[in-house]
Structure 1
Amino acid sequence: MTDIPNDADARRAVPPVICYPTDSLPAADMSLYAAARTTLTSVSQVIVPPRDAAVIEVSAGQFLRIHSVQGPQVGDLNLFSADDLSEQFYSGKTRALHGTHVTAGDRLWASFPNMRPMATITHDTLDWYGIDEFGGSVHDVIGTRCDPYTGRLLTGTDYHHCCHSNLTRALAAHTGLSIHDAETHVHDVLNVFMCTGFTRDTGQYFMKASPVRPGDYIEMFAEIDFLAVLSACPGGDCSSEHSSDAAACYPLEMEVLRPADGTLDRWVPPAKNKYDRSHGA
């Protein structure tokens, strides 16, 4: 162990500074979305089978709800711009701007170079959970997704129904891409309904039983046209393990809803990021 400096306590006591203050971010018009929500009608639904994934198309100005329909189940969500798969959900920047877990009022940001809101979370029936005594909370943007590569490293075996593989298969089937080409687009996820945090002693990523129950949902407003690809995680409620066939798993539902005509007249679609991309060259 290295020598502890005499001023170690003073160094630890330096107060933190928020890396990305969000006061100047374009504000989501939550009152507009709330009014539109009162007029919603369902236009399409898809069931996501346990240990598998599905895709649904969402148009700008529509709402997407992800429902728990049968039992406690978490899901791994990827978002892609409908006309450009390279524009996709950027979990790291979303985390940097909004925190480790997201809820109503937070936005799901797109990757560079567009870096614009893809969706705004408008309702969350699990917002009551908050942060528990372990530091855990719901809907995280800190985890990646269970994948066969990490599984191979840790267990020496191959498992094909982890979320990474589920998302890959679903995207390939929807787009006509090969499995290998589709895999290059699969990215870090929004862990819908998953309850996670970091241990205070070792700083390790942990999961615990999700508080989600049938009837719960998270809802988001589509700021752009996007594809939502959702995997029903093989870990079920993630109370013990993932990437296995041992956990009890249940389906999830994705539902697209349309507001009444005229309710979004003052909504303005988000512009692409205006950085000139010169990078000082």
Structure 2
Amino acid sequence: MPKPPKDAEARRAIAPVICYPNEGLRSPPMAQYRAAREGATETGRILIAPRTARCFYVTAGSFFRISCPDGPQVGDLNLFEARNLDERFYSGKTRALHGSHIRTGDRLWSCLPYLRPMATVMEDTLDWYGVDEHGGRVHDVIGTRCDPYTHHLLSGQDYHHTCHSNLTRALADELQKPLHEAEALVHDVLNVFMCTGFTRDTGQYFMKASPARKGDYIEFFAEIDLLGALSACPGGDCGAEHSSDSAQCHPLEVTIHAPPAGSLDGWYSPSNNRYSRRHAHN
């Protein structure tokens, strides 16, 4: 450990600056969304069995809800623009714009060069949780996803039901692609229902048992046409371990609702980011 300089405390005392102030972001019309949701009708429902993943489609202007029908269960969510798989969820920019964990009113943003809202958080029955004494919060965009490569690195064993592999198989089946092509599409996730944070001493990513219970849900408004892929994590509530066949796991459920005609008059799906893409190249 090098000796601290004489002005060490002064350096530490410098006030932080928010990297991406989000006051300039266009606020979603939540009142209109909620009014449209009141009269919406169910158009689809899928059940994701423990330690598996499934794909689903949501039309722009519809709603989709991820719920725990039987008990606490963490899910790993990937999102794509339904007709352009190059446009996909960008967890890093979502984190930079909204924070390490999403809440009602926050949006899920797509990758560069598109950088537009893909979905808006409409309602979350775990909004009450806030921040616990360990610094834990729910629904993070900081973790990557459990994967077989890290599992093998740390244990020397192959395990095939990680969220990365689950998502790979689901996309391969849905898109009729070989596994190696589908795997290239899998990206960093929204960890639905997962309670996570960073330790204060070492700054390590931690998880603790999800506070979700039977019936809890998070609901989104689809800003663009979406292909979703959702994995029911093999860690169950992630209170002890992930990438495991011993953890108690439950299914996840996705329900899709379409609003009544006319309820979204005046709303439009967001366009791609308007940056010129010139990059000042001569």
TM over 0.5: yes
Query: 1:214 — aligned with what?
Result: 214
Query: 1:28 — aligned with what?
Result: 28
**1:142-184 deviations in Å (ceiling 9; x for gaps):** 0000000000100000000000000000011001111100000
Amino acid at match of 1:160: H
Residue 280 of structure 1 deviates from its aligned partner by: 1.7
Which runs of 5 or more residues in structure 2 are unaligned? none
Using the aligned pairs only, state the percent identity: 63
Taking the TM superposition and a 5 Å limit, the aligned residue runs for 1:79-98 are 79-98=79-98
Taking the TM superposition and a 5 Å limit, the aligned residue runs for 1:34-73 are 34-73=34-73
Query: 2:227 — aligned with what?
Result: 227
Once superposed, which parts of structure 1, at least 4 consecutive aligned residues long, lie more than 4 Å away? none
**1:111-162 deviations in Å (ceiling 9; x for gaps):** 0111000001110000000011100000000000000000010000000000
Distance (Å, rounded) in 1 between the aligned partners of 2:103 and 2:259: 21
Q: Does 1:5 align with 2:5?
A: yes
**1:240-281 deviations in Å (ceiling 9; x for gaps):** 000010100010001111111111002121010011112221
Amino acid at match of 1:249: C
Query: 2:76 — aligned with what?
Result: 76
Taking the TM superposition and a 5 Å limit, the aligned residue runs for 1:100-249 are 100-249=100-249
Distance (Å, rounded) in 2 between the aligned partners of 1:77 and 1:66: 10
Task: Provide the alpha-carbon RMSD of the alignment.
Answer: 0.6
SS at match of 2:129: coil
Distance (Å, rounded) in 1 between the aligned partners of 2:14 and 2:225: 44
**1:18-59 deviations in Å (ceiling 9; x for gaps):** 000011111111111111121121110000010000111000
Amino acid at match of 2:80: F
Distance (Å, rounded) in 2 between the aligned partners of 1:194 and 1:37: 26
Distance (Å, rounded) in 1 between the aligned partners of 2:182 and 2:207: 28
Distance (Å, rounded) in 1 between the aligned partners of 2:279 and 2:177: 32
Amino acid at match of 1:39: G
Amino acid at match of 1:52: T
Amino acid at match of 1:32: Q
Amino acid at match of 1:165: S
**1:203-234 deviations in Å (ceiling 9; x for gaps):** 00000000001111100000000111000000
Q: TM-score scaled to structure 1, two decimals? A: 0.99
Amino acid at match of 2:74: V
Which runs of 5 or more residues in structure 1 are unaligned? none
On the 8 A contact 2:71/2:215 being kept in 1, the answer is: no
Distance (Å, rounded) in 1 between the aligned partners of 2:224 and 2:79: 11
Amino acid at match of 1:2: P
Distance (Å, rounded) in 1 between the aligned partners of 2:207 and 2:177: 33
**1:178-200 deviations in Å (ceiling 9; x for gaps):** 11000001000000000000001
Distance (Å, rounded) in 2 between the aligned partners of 1:84 and 1:76: 21
Distance (Å, rounded) in 2 between the aligned partners of 1:22 and 1:96: 9
Distance (Å, rounded) in 2 between the aligned partners of 1:40 and 1:66: 16
Distance (Å, rounded) in 1 between the aligned partners of 2:269 and 2:230: 24
Amino acid at match of 1:139: H
SS at match of 2:127: coil
Amino acid at match of 1:25: L
